[in-house]
A and B are shown apart, each in its own frame.
Chain A
Amino acid sequence: MRTYTLLICVLFTPLAGPSHAAGPQDADALAYFEQHIRPVLIARCYSCHSERDDAREGGLLLDRRAGWVEGGERGPAIVAGDPDASLLIQAMKYADSDLQMPPDKPLSADVVRKFEHWVRIGAPDPRDGQAVPAGDDPSDPIAGRTHWAFQPLATGTLPEVTAPDWSRSSIDRYVLARLEATQLFPAPEADRTTLARRIYIQLTGLPPTAGQVEEFLSDDRADAYERLVDQLLASPQFGERWGRHWLDLARYSDSNGLDENFLFREAWRYRNWVLRAVNSDLPYDRFLLEQLAGDLLPYDSVAERDRQRIAAGFLVLGPKVLLGNDPQKQRMEVADEQLDTMGRAVLGQTLGCARCHDHKFDPIPTADYYALAGIFTSTEVMEGRYMLGQQRVMERLVGLGADGEQADDAYESYWRDRPQLQERQNRAKAALEHLQKDEEEAFQKLSNEHADATAESARDASLDKAIRLEAQQKLVDEVTARLDNPPAIPPRAMVPTDRAEPADEFIRLAGQFDRQGAQVPRGVLQVVGDQRPQISPGKSGRVELGRWLTDVEHGAGRLAARVLANRIWHHMIGRGLVRTVDNFGRTGEPPSHPELLDYLAVRLIESNWSVKSLIREIALSRTFTMSSRDDEAGRAVDPENALLWRAHRRRLAPEVLRDTMLQAAGELDLTPMDSSVWYLGDQATAVGDNKNRRRTDFPCRSVYLPVIRNDLPELFDVFDFANPHATTGSRPQTMVATQGLYLLNDDSVMAAAEATARRVLAEADEARVNRMFERILSASATPDERDQMLSFIAQMRQRLKEGNDAEAELHAWTMACQALFASSRFQILE
């Protein structure tokens, strides 16, 4: 309700019609205030004239309308409609030598003109009400600490339930207590076949084979399920499923996107680092630290150094405006993108909103934004390069391995020096021609002007012509060989670095890079606590920031733990306890089970930030293993299933769809893949002369397919893959006709269906239908289903034969396989 009220206040104050008379409070006028006046007041005046800063110089407050109406010791500060009679304007104009404001530095003429205009139109000012209590400013970081997400983690006692037997873990007690309070009953346990499919897909992104299901069903040990969970958590496929969840947040991509879609040739190293880190259950605090500051951390070996550097590629992967951009502006925009990604992915905060003005809903003043921005603007992610003969600014690359730097230098210098080499080749050829034509004078002239154009023996006119020719030809050949054989691209990674002179950032008025306000020391969010990390001089502060994020005592650790626990819950259960997984602010939703969320966060921290441990605990809970069955009472009381009276049903992600179809077809190759974009040129999208396009025909798992911004594989596009331009914590789950078209007609689905049909046809007659069901649905067909399929196939075979289809048998089975791929049973996870 609070959120609602705030929204109304901020968005509709002008329409609500404040009772005071002065000033045209129409939307345009107020927009003018918000755009041009408020940011300046906050940045340049509040420090001496606001309750926030406990400052009332000269008795004047400028943090509310009443402040300037009443004025200070010199009387009213503004006469609405009359700039010349307004003390504030006179002070800003530095007209009077003993009243000059702000005292440190005058405002620009442009800003003063805007203030004059504002006063002239009646000084519209929505900051209404009598002396606003300090706590009512939504961006106040101290008052904002009362928001649930910033509160200490609750470690209360487990709630009492009337049916304690139902619970297998503490998680279940929290869930059941809420259900009992609402007089709802939890669904019974899912049957074991359904459960096997669910846990396999949730943990590995692949359904079990029929054999694996059978193995699980026939395992009658009491801990059979627990063993299965552990086995899946330890499988390499786990990282391919759960690493992708992080890649969604990291807006992972193999290209820049936006309007200059340059290839990120080396991004895959970061992708694979994530998959490996998730597989090895790298503690989350370390996982974050390496991504924010891997290039600055100590190391024991070159391999460790390189791993950490690759991790820091997280900061480099963002989409950037590359053309026609002021370097200053670009620096701010890159920092903004990094800040926003980190803010939403790790803290569930929309920090970007505080770039132009204090956050309108959340306790994040603009000063905090620029305190953080200073850390990122002190970091360099771009550099000038000679890329395939072109000089341009691009993502920073660092050579890998012991001699990585030299290899990279050699590669770079080849492209840098190539034009000179080309000239040298031309001259050497010209000299050769002079020799051939006996133009001795021209030859000597060229030789004198460019010593490197001629071979030593060729210069010696006393030698036999044949010898001279041979020597010169040899030189031409040498130069040509060098020119024609550029060094191979050495192993490199996208890695940030600290700038030579890290510096604090200035507030940019209204978010505009060329309108500097006050400078703010590099730092972190005040709402989290009073302690600020000490940033060592000469450093960007990324290491300190990285540690602060998961510092439970003095940093954002509690918040980060809540956000991560909720994400894990979201992926396991199908819906977050906080449904707005990327937004834990006031415009987000509060948690449906606050105590459970805190419990999970505490568990994370206690386990030393082990993601696998928390996944395991959730997987073993009865809550996770419930069936998805419907219940009228549940639907009536809680149609959204927020209280978890049953399991959520989920549509499969495009990666799972594709991998499973390939698996059924017997074509899936589980070998991890490195780059899947090596064949692409510098431009990642096929435009103009560039006909080269990203490929999707690799038999690898989908997580390794190219993610080209603006050119996602069709399957990804159609089935709601994460938008790689921005952090995506929760993918949409639409059910639209284009998905139907894809499944009914796309070549890749057809091909998988046909390959599956071929495998099935290789079996003995009577086993075929069962095999088909097992391959696609991990279960045998019931007699009914078998009859239905066989009659469809017989009918279809007949129809195709009549149509002179030489492969009627194969095609009939293909169509049956395809129908199973398209079936709800395959498409939707129970």
Chain B
Amino acid sequence: MSQKNTSPTDKHSQPGLAGSLPRREFVWQMGLGFAGVALSSLLARDGFFARHAFADEVASLNPLAPKKPHFPARAKACIFLTMNGAPSQVDTFDYKPELEKYAGKQLPADKDYINSGGRKVGYLTPAWRKFRPGGESGLLVSDYFPNVRQHADKLCVLKSCHTDSHAHGSALVALNTGKTLIGRPSLGSWAVYGLGTENESLPGYVVMLDKRGGPISGQPNWASGFMPATYAGTLFRPVGDPILDLRGPRHMTQPAQREQLDLLARLNQRHLEQRPGGRELAARINSYELAYRMQAATPEAVDLTQETQQTLEMYGVGKTPTDEYGRNCLIARRLVERGVRFVQLYSGGGHLEETWDAHESIEKNHGRHAAEVDRPIAALLTDLEQRGLLDETLVVWGGEFGRMPFSEGKDAPGRNHNPYGFSMWFAGGGVRGGTTYGETDEFGFEATVDKVHLHDLHATMLYLMGLDHELLTYFHQGRDESLTDVGGRVIDRIVA
């Protein structure tokens, strides 16, 4: 009763070596080569697992073993394209023709809001770039995202999002964990907690930051809060090995390490044989096996030399300004392909104009950042679709809040923070494409129709991944905690 968690469990989950899942098999052969197979076969030859009736128990010590969802999942994985700094909805995905009419006027006085940071309040300002219809649906997307627009029929734009904070740090924490206060598990942690991971050679939840820096509220955005650290996001570093301790010193060549691991396996097996029933001992052996595979699998997963020139070009790899986000998007596809459950890619890092925080100028700021991500995101959608992965991968785009429909002063081309109404979009993963959900008022200032709170967004994301946000709970301090707390509703209208 202590860890009375209602996370879905799977009694016959793979102990980690049988490799009956096709995806696992694929990784096995492609990624690991001789060394990984050698160690596992060493264990298999000795009938390591066959001899132990407690394979299930061993797996139960491993919190990342795959688990069955609550109901059939639309999406096996999620890629969350996080636009750090908050993009402007009225300049990107929420077309407001009325702003033309009201240009130069002030927002009506009865519209109540917090002036974040006490900045100058200017005049209603229409979109800085033109909106045009895309695809057969004619979904409107502005010229900041001409490439994404080509995928208009795949997008479901949620125009009526609203959130609980007007400050970047806490709003981003809320976007990631459901609450503005630090200390709760992030969305990716809940997903991995609920579903486990399908490829233990890789972390279940991967986060890639913008090279310019992390988000202002830092690590709590991908932390596991009150859950064990196992469920926390793993940061892939932008340079060198993606994660710590993947490699030993130079003299530790791969064959040398394999010999060492064989020695270790023999030591540990002998120890286990003298102590029958030692499931902790078996789990320890298993953890080295997985670690060894991770050493090979992780660099392999981020190795873009395996991609064709055509693919690299499509993502804009090697080109300014798309190289970085293009690489990250491509790595995200490779990770999802290899069974990683949740991948989060930040665009924008550090402070102010290095993020989407366009106080100075929408055109300059969004012009710069959109150019970095537009093509890579479009390529990701194309690529996922071509590989038949889009149906089972939920792609989510958005920032921690939106921006005001008015400027920050006369002739000032920037916009201030707006938590009252903003747009996010979903694609793939069982979502109805070419559609919109909810509306803001005529100014694009606040959500008015079918409002979507963060809890609703999270409930829907979990739903698409096969999890019921009310049943996915973690017992902590005498209470069944959930991502959506007492709120949240699944927006079923957008589900295909």
**B277 and A361: CB pair below 8 A?**
no
Output the least CB separation between B119 and chain A (Å): 16
**A734 and B276: CB pair below 8 A?**
no
CA distance in complex: A579, B3 (Å): 10
Interface flag for B29 (CB, 8 Å) = no
Interface flag for A181 (CB, 8 Å) = no
Q: Known: A737-B287, A750-B249, A824-B284. Is A588-B2 also a contact (CB below 8 A)?
A: yes
Interface flag for B135 (CB, 8 Å) = no
**B63 and A736: CB pair below 8 A?**
yes
Output the least CB separation between B116 and chain A (Å): 11
Contacts of A818 in B (CB 8 A): 260
Most chain B beta-carbon neighbours within 10 Å: one of A259, A362, A579, A685: A259
Select from chain B the residue with minimum beta-carbon distance to A580: B2
Interface flag for A94 (CB, 8 Å) = no
Interface flag for A720 (CB, 8 Å) = yes
Q: Which of B291-299, B364-372, B414-422 contacts A (4 or more CB under 8 A)?
A: B291-299
**A737 and B200: CB pair below 8 A?**
yes
CA distance in complex: A340, B477 (Å): 10
Interface flag for B50 (CB, 8 Å) = no
Contacts of A745 in B (CB 8 A): 245-248, 252, 295
Output the least CB separation between B84 and chain A (Å): 15
CA distance in complex: A609, B171 (Å): 48
CA distance in complex: A481, B472 (Å): 63
Contacts of B291 in A (CB 8 A): 737-741, 743-744
Contact partner of B288 (CB less than 8 A), chosen from A580, A587, A628, A822, is A822
A-B pair number, CB within 8 angstroms? 191
CA distance in complex: A258, B177 (Å): 14
**A629 and B256: CB pair below 8 A?**
no
**B248 and A744: CB pair below 8 A?**
yes
Q: Which of B264-272, B310-318, B424-432 contacts A (4 or more CB under 8 A)?
A: B264-272
CA distance in complex: A340, B249 (Å): 46
Contacts of B251 in A (CB 8 A): 800, 803, 805, 807, 811
Q: Which of B70-78, B148-156, B222-230, B442-450 contacts A (4 or more CB under 8 A)?
A: B222-230
Output the least CB separation between B56 and chain A (Å): 11
Interface flag for A783 (CB, 8 Å) = no
Select from chain B the residue with minimum beta-carbon distance to A737: B290
Interface flag for B97 (CB, 8 Å) = no
Interface flag for B104 (CB, 8 Å) = no
Contacts of A743 in B (CB 8 A): 288, 291
Within 8 A of B (CB), among A291-333: 321, 324
Interface flag for A344 (CB, 8 Å) = yes
Q: Known: A588-B2, A796-B256, A815-B252. Is A649-B278 also a contact (CB below 8 A)?
A: yes
Within 8 A of A (CB), among B230-281: 230, 243-249, 251-253, 255-257, 259-261, 263-264, 266-268, 271-272, 275-278, 280-281
Contacts of A723 in B (CB 8 A): 226
Output the least CB separation between A574 and chain B (Å): 11
Interface flag for B115 (CB, 8 Å) = no
**A819 and B264: CB pair below 8 A?**
yes
How many positions in chain A have a CB within 8 Å of any CB in the partner chain? 79
Interface flag for A651 (CB, 8 Å) = yes
**B287 and A819: CB pair below 8 A?**
no
Select from chain B the residue with minimum beta-carbon distance to A730: B2
**B2 and A350: CB pair below 8 A?**
no
Output the least CB separation between A23 and chain B (Å): 19
**A815 and B287: CB pair below 8 A?**
no
Interface flag for B167 (CB, 8 Å) = yes
| Contact bitstring A669-696, B, C-beta under 8 A = 1, else 0 | 0000000000000000101000000000
Output the least CB separation between B399 and chain A (Å): 19
Most chain A beta-carbon neighbours within 10 Å: one of B4, B217, B251, B268: B251
Select from chain B the residue with minimum beta-carbon distance to A818: B260
Interface flag for A47 (CB, 8 Å) = no
| Contact bitstring A716-731, B, C-beta under 8 A = 1, else 0 | 0110100101100000
Output the least CB separation between B304 and chain A (Å): 23
Output the least CB separation between B301 and chain A (Å): 14
Interface flag for A70 (CB, 8 Å) = no
Select from chain B the residue with minimum beta-carbon distance to A719: B229
Output the least CB separation between A71 and chain B (Å): 30
**A589 and B1: CB pair below 8 A?**
yes
Contact partner of A35 (CB less than 8 A), chosen from B284, B295, B486, is B486
Interface flag for A823 (CB, 8 Å) = yes
Output the least CB separation between A127 and chain B (Å): 18
Contact partner of A588 (CB less than 8 A), chosen from B1, B169, B487, is B1
Output the least CB separation between B284 and chain A (Å): 5
Interface flag for A825 (CB, 8 Å) = yes
- Can you name 28 A-B residue pairings with CB atoms under 8 Å? A35-B486, A324-B167, A350-B477, A583-B2, A583-B478, A585-B478, A589-B1, A630-B275, A635-B277, A649-B281, A687-B218, A710-B218, A718-B229, A720-B228, A737-B200, A738-B245, A739-B287, A741-B243, A744-B295, A745-B245, A745-B252, A746-B244, A792-B259, A792-B263, A796-B256, A799-B253, A823-B268, A828-B284
> Which 5 residue pairs across A and B have the least CB separation, nearest first?
A740-B291, A630-B277, A350-B478, A737-B290, A735-B283
Residues of B within 8 A of A (CB): 1-2, 4, 57, 61-64, 167, 169-170, 181-183, 200, 217-220, 226, 228-230, 243-249, 251-253, 255-257, 259-261, 263-264, 266-268, 271-272, 275-278, 280-281, 283-295, 475, 477-480, 486-487
Other A-B pairs beyond A639-B57, A737-B290, 4, CB < 8 Å: A350-B478, A739-B291, A740-B291, A824-B267
